[in-house]
């Protein structure tokens, strides 16, 4: 089954030509194993990424720091820390009378389903196919088609081929080692390259002054800049950024260029001082460039070198992760502190455990009631989730939903929640409760998927209940592109035709706006808590009144969340808000307790109405 873009980090072998090697021109890993993993990822729906491609073999440090899921290009003698189970053998080779295995190691943080998926795919890849893959890698500039009379030699050909390659691998390692020592400068920018930065790091690693240094990682989104304004502008941004960093650097600092990004080994009294320096650099890069740049285009992460962090790879990894997170959050700059390190480890652990958590039904169904604004009668509820993690306990959505959105896994949880919601509505139908609605959350990214309507309708049709009781609640936490906007409009039209209702969550802040009311045919809006919190101010009352009045004139139902105070209730009733939700009325309830409360509150009035009619 597709894995919905689950990210897999790989530590590659940079000098195992032609099986796997680092190509300096493209700054990527190439070879037969890289092709194998790429084809595997495409078929199974993984997002497979080699971590920090470079000419140096860093598989041991990546394994030691638990930074990757997969260690590639290994032979029978390879051993690594924090690996899980036995290695996965891709094929066997023989050279000088000795048999060896080409294999992959999976680490302890790898998703559970990765081993079975890889094993299944590897079992379908024959020795003959590996022969063709190696031949193709040997002649990468003009890939050949293996003629029909050689595959046939299958195993014999690959054994002879690999035997002949052993000496070539050793020669290539010696050449690359000499080349790495000779070249420590990035040809594009004139700054140090990654090897130069490592050597500078090594010089201070044993010095007491190391505590005064920070690794500053400046992330440049050259891909986006190239798409917007052309590759010449992307190259210009790289050179401009390098020049700004030269002008801002001081004598003890080391500057480097790694891939599309810029780094500094910055001497500063503390991490906060290094962060202020980095903020100045980012501001100058943005201000001095010909085209407008935002936080997603230029962002920085700062990792202070504390006593316990002496490994260069460890420091670079966390500085880069902080920069990427700053770009995602559009905050511009982030300082990676001890708490952030703990958070980053937790994030990787949660991502690793997510699929297994779904399979084991660790995500529990909770319900928070809506009441009508007139008589405060319970009329519906919002489906929520809690993750009952086997080691971390009961986790609130804030611990895992933003992570799932960033990693592209949120769709799996969205449809899991829809299945639970439909099952709950079917149980209410069985108990003859037919006037209680439930809203179910979907991220915008999930809702705008081309197959959303098909998957949604398939789930609903497995259950028996009135479709008007199911409301699809679109959250506003992710920005959409033009094509996604068009797809979401079509999906809204299609699900409403099927009898379901659609509302916008958290309306009035973030990415939602009055444009959404013009662009999308909706059934209602859910006011964001921040609007409700400001009803005591004059401006807040004016905004709230205008929003509710305009929405009612368009025939929309208005729900308000985060209601906690009596003054908020009165203000919302005055503007004729339709339904209220918040701790003032009810906290989120687990499934069994929510069902008991609904049965107690709703079945009695129904029975009374039936008795009066019969009488």
Beta carbons within 10 angstroms of residue 402's beta carbon:
15
What DSSP element (H or E) covers 350?
helix 338-359
State CA 50 to chain mean position distance.
16
pLDDT at 609 (0 to 100): 46
Judged by phi (left if over 0) then psi (alpha if -120 to 50, else beta), residue 261 lies in beta
Report the first-to-last Cα separation within the chain, whole angstroms: 57
Compute how many other C-beta atoms are within 10 angstroms of the C-beta atom of residue 517: 18
User: Is residue 145 over pLDDT 60?
Assistant: no
* Least confident stretch, 86-95, 366-375, 457-466: 86-95
Round to whole Å and give the CA distance between 550 and 529. 19
Token couple for 402: 């933003």
Both tokens assigned to 588: 């989120």
Highest average pLDDT, of 147-161, 281-295, 412-426, 542-556, comes from: 412-426
pLDDT of 562-607, one tens digit each? 999 999 999 999 889 999 999 999 999 999 999 999 998 876 554 4
Residue for token pair 């590996």: 130
Question: In this predicted structure, what is the pLDDT of residue 612?
Answer: 43
Q: What is the pTM of this model?
A: 0.54
What is the predicted pLDDT for the residue at 240?
Answer: 94
Whether 339 shows a pLDDT value over 60: the answer reads no
Residues 70-117 pLDDT 10s:
999 988 778 888 887 778 888 766 555 556 678 899 988 888 788 888
Confidence of residue 507 (pLDDT cuts 50, 70, 90): confident
Quick one: pLDDT band at residue 479, thresholds 50, 70, 90? Answer: low
Q: Look at 489 and 408; give whichever has higher pLDDT.
A: 489
Identify the weakest region by mean pLDDT among 114-128, 381-395, 492-506, 523-537: 114-128
DSSP 157: H
Inter-axis angle of helices 566-574 and 538-553, to 10 degrees?
A: 40
pLDDT of residue 148: 36
Query: Which pLDDT does position 178 carry in this prediction?
Result: 44
- Average pLDDT estimate for 325-330: 84
Distances (CA, A) of 579 to 369, 373, 377, 545: 10, 5, 10, 15
More confident residue, 500 or 88: 500
420-428: average pLDDT: 97
- State the average pLDDT over residues 509-514: 52
Instruction: Summarize the confidence of residues 445-471 as an average pLDDT.
Output: 94
What is the rounded average pLDDT for all residues in the chain? 82
Q: Is the pLDDT of residue 519 over 80?
A: no
Q: Domains, the chain, ranges and CATH?
A: 7-182 (3.40.190.10), 194-343 (3.30.70.270), 361-614 (3.20.20.450)
Q: How far apart are CA 531 and CA 535, in angstroms?
A: 7
Predicted local distance difference test score (pLDDT) of residue 97:
53
pLDDT over 90, % of the chain: 36
Predicted local confidence at residue 560, as pLDDT:
92
Task: Give DSSP secondary structure letters for 274-335.
Answer: HHHHHHHHHHHHHHTSSS---TTTEEEEEEE--TT---HHHHHHHHHHHHHHHHHHT-SEEE
What is residue 531's three-state secondary structure? helix
**Could you tell me which residues are beta bridge partners of residue 7?**
47
Q: Is the pLDDT of residue 518 over 90?
A: no
| Mean local confidence (pLDDT), 388-403 | 89
Q: What is the mean pLDDT of residues 253-274?
A: 89
């Amino acid at each position: 089954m597709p894995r919905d873009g689950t990210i897999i980090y790989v530590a590659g072998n940079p000098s195992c030509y032609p099986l796997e090697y680092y190509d300096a021109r493209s700054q990527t890993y190439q070879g037969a194993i890289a092709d194998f993993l790429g084809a595997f990822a495409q078929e199974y729906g993984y997002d497979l990424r080699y971590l920090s491609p470079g000419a140096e073999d860093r598989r041991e440090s990546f394994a030691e720091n638990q930074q990757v899921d997969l260690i590639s290009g290994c032979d029978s003698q390879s051993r690594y820390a924090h690996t899980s189970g036995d290695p996965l053998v891709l094929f066997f080779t023989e050279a000088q009378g000795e048999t060896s295995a080409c294999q992959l190691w999976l680490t302890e943080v790898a998703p559970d389903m990765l081993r079975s998926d890889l094993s299944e795919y590897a079992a379908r890849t024959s020795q003959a196919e590996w022969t063709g893959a190696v031949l193709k890698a040997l002649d990468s500039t003009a890939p050949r088609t293996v003629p029909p009379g050689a595959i046939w030699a299958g195993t014999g050909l690959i054994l002879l081929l690999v035997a002949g390659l052993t000496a070539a691998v050793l020669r290539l390692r010696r050449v690359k080692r000499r080349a790495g020592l000779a070249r420590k400068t990035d040809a594009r920018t004139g700054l140090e390259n990654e090897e130069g930065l490592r050597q500078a790091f090594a010089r201070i690693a044993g010095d007491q002054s190391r505590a005064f240094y920070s690794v500053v990682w400046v992330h440049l989104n050259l891909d986006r800049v190239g798409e917007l304004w052309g590759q010449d502008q992307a190259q210009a941004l790289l050179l401009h950024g390098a020049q700004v960093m030269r002008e801002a650097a001081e004598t003890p600092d080391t500057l480097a260029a790694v891939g599309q990004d810029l780094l500094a080994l910055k001497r500063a009294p503390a991490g906060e001082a290094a962060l202020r320096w980095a903020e100045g650099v980012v501001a100058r890069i943005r201000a001095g460039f010909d085209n407008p740049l935002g936080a997603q285009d230029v962002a920085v992460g700062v990792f202070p070198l504390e006593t316990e962090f002496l490994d260069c790879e460890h420091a670079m990894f966390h500085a880069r992760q902080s920069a990427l997170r700053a770009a995602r959050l559009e905050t511009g700059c982030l300082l990676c502190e001890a708490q952030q390190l703990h958070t980053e480890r937790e994030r990787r652990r949660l991502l690793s455990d997510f699929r297994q958590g779904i399979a084991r039904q660790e995500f529990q169904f909770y319900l928070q009631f809506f009441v009508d604004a007139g008589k405060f009668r319970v009329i519906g509820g919002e489906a929520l989730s809690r993750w009952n993690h086997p080691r971390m306990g009961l986790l609130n959505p804030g611990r895992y939903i933003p992570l799932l959105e960033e990693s592209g896994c949120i769709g799996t949880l969205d449809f899991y929640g829809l299945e639970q919601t439909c099952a709950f509505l079917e149980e209410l139908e069985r108990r003859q409760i037919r006037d209680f609605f439930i809203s179910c959350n979907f991220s915008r990214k999930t809702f705008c998927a081309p197959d959303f309507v098909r998957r949604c309708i398939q789930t609903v049709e497995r259950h028996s209940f009135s479709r008007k009781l199911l409301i699809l609640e679109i959250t506003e936490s992710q920005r959409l592109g033009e094509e996604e906007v068009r797809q979401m409009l079509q999906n809204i039209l299609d699900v409403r035709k099927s009898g379901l209702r659609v509302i916008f969550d958290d309306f009035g802040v973030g990415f939602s706006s009055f444009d959404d009311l013009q662009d999308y045919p909706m059934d209602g809006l859910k006011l964001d808590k921040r609007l409700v919190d400001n009803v005591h101010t004059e401006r807040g009352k004016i905004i709230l009144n205008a929003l509710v009045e305009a929405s009612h004139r368009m025939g929309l139902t208005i729900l308000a969340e985060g209601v906690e105070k009596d003054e908020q209730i009165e203000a919302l009733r005055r503007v004729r808000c339709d339904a209220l939700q918040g701790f003032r009325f009810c906290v989120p309830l687990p499934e069994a307790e929510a069902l008991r409360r609904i049965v107690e509150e709703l079945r009695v009035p129904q029975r009374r109405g039936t008795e009066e009619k019969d009488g």
